[in-house]
Amino acid sequence: MLTREFLLKADCKTSFGDIDEALFWSCEKRAASLSATLACRPDQSPVWIFGYGSLMWNPIFEAAEVAPGRLEGWHRAFCLRLIAGRGTVTAPGRMLALKEGGSTSGLAFRLPESRLHDELELLWKREMITGCYLPTWCELELEDGRNVTALVFIMDPRHPLYETDSCRSTIAPLIAQASGPLGTNAQYLYALEQELGKRGMQEAALTRLAAEVRALQSHSAAR
């Protein structure tokens, strides 16, 4: 599993697998992206991060508060071709992102203002290795009724790793076989399924996908 210590020490160019030079974002480019995002910060209210994938069970950053929340207008989709971390260029998997439409339940993390920049730098190192996401300020409704402004990592549909076809029959075989330095693609999917179930946020489409991936892996192991 990805750890804070690993990420702090990681060389992004080599630690996650082979990344095409044309896709790789340098630390300078990540820093510029973070600065541009903070320049668009709507106000000086606390900064929240919306976690809808691995941030839910392995956030790594330090949060002053964690609360369930719902994001309207976006839904989970395995639409990001995975060539590093839990996949490779020759055997790519699929990573989760957000696509327009619907809604998504997840966890909101309030970052401490005193450590804001350090925690965001670490988050950018984790999420923006190839600049595949659009860090976007969105309104988020927390479970307790509060409305907060949260930073959300949304798929950039212009990115070379964006995949338009994210239907189950296409992505299940990819997720079933992909692996990389951080583990298997299937482990990621199963961890997400478990976390959503634990929090009462189950999604039927994701449950069906996990079942199909398990069936594919069982069939492969039986051969």
User: Which tokens belong to 182?
Assistant: 């951080």
| Whether the Cβ atoms of residue 83 and residue 129 lie closer than 8 Å to each other | no
Annotated catalytic residue, options 62, 65, 127, 212: 127
Q: 3-class SS at 184? A: strand
d(CA 177, CA 159): 24
Q: For residue 23, give the DSSP letter.
A: T
Phi, psi of 199 (to 5 degrees): -100, 10
Q: Is 127 a catalytic residue?
A: yes
Largest CA distance in the chain: 58
Give 86-153 as a DSSP string.
Answer: S--SSS-EEEEEEEEEEEEEEEEEEPPGGGHHHHHHHHHHHH-SS--EEEEEEEEEETTS-EEEEEEE
Which helix (H) or strand (E) element contains residue 178?
A: none
Catalytic center residues:
127
